[in-house]
Amino acid sequence: MSRPSARTFAERLADGPLVGAEGYVFELERRGYVKAGPYVPEVILDAPDALRQLHREFLRAGADVMVALTYYAHREKLRDVGRDGDLEELNRQAVRIANEIAAEGDGPDGGALVAGNICNTWCYDPANPAESGAVVRDQYREQLGWAVEEGIDLVISETNDFLGEALIGLEVCQEFGVPALVTFASVQPDRTYDGHDYVEACRILADHGAAVVGFNCSRGPATMLPLVERLRAAVDIPIATQPVPYRTTAEVPAFESLAAPDGSRLFPIRLESAALTRFEMADFARDAAALGAGYIGVCCGGAPHYVRAMAEALGRTTASSQYSPALELHPVLGSGESGVTSSEMGDWSVAG
């Protein structure tokens, strides 16, 4: 069944832009509830209150969608950590928790939307699309069957590397009658791993009935926004952008390849030195909105302070805005003979 909401995903998109918040596995790894490497969300069953708390923080920071933490909660990844026997309960519990916290929202739309979530499976082989595609399809059907029974408003199908796999995900969403937001990771300079220009791949998904298309993960704002600008000119449906909050460049467009000055790899657990500030993510949100993005979020590395900065930059007053910085009251930086004034915050905070 679909989840009853005061207004649908499509209706809220029409008022856009919506604020998305992800990066669950990275943030929960930092908090000690997810193992770096496999990044399987065992936290759903092992420490559900930790997941509830992160959902709640994203909600208070201004997120319009609670994304069920079923990223990498498919059969193959759970088998890697010996928990494939927990597959159904883990997937159902993730959606239940997302619904529980979404209902805490007190906005005019009746709380946050709830998204089911599927992702790249590492099972798809473009050299053998029929056989590998059948494996992918079965995994998606399992996950989304449980998600729909528990109640969702939409599905986010994300971090796709192959157009072929993304089309399978879209088809399964359509089998269940749930709108799909489909995004590509963009690790390579300009093409998916099965050889399609990223923007053209999005256009094909739009032609096949995706509700929203766009990009997530891999790229920071500086290297994702040029793709977003091209995509806006290529399709006539809402588009999504969910970059990582890291300092990628034209020379190193994807954060998987970021390196320290000594040449050591930063990805995935030495990325702090490449992190963007909340001000830079606020700038990103404004820039994305100016380009016409309808779904503006953050991916791996995301955290509540980024989401609040983005939401406030888009003109929102969030539940956590009452605690937005007031540096004029700081004992060292505060206004006075040698201090700064509230203009230190620029126009980032609607509370300033």
Q: Taking 90 as the threshold, does the pLDDT of residue 47 lie above it? A: yes
Average pLDDT, the chain: 93
Residue 334: the pLDDT is 78
pTM metric for this prediction? 0.93
Q: Taking 60 as the threshold, does the pLDDT of residue 313 lie above it? A: yes
Residue 347: the pLDDT is 53
Residue 333: the pLDDT is 81
Tens of pLDDT, residues 180-223: 999 999 999 999 999 999 999 999 999 999 999 999 999 999 99
Tens of pLDDT, residues 214-258: 999 999 999 999 999 999 999 999 999 999 999 999 999 999 999
Tens of pLDDT, residues 125-175: 999 999 999 999 999 999 999 999 999 999 999 999 999 999 999 999 999
What is the C-alpha separation between 109 and 208, in angstroms, rounded?
Answer: 29
What is the C-alpha separation between 294 and 267, in angstroms, rounded?
Answer: 29
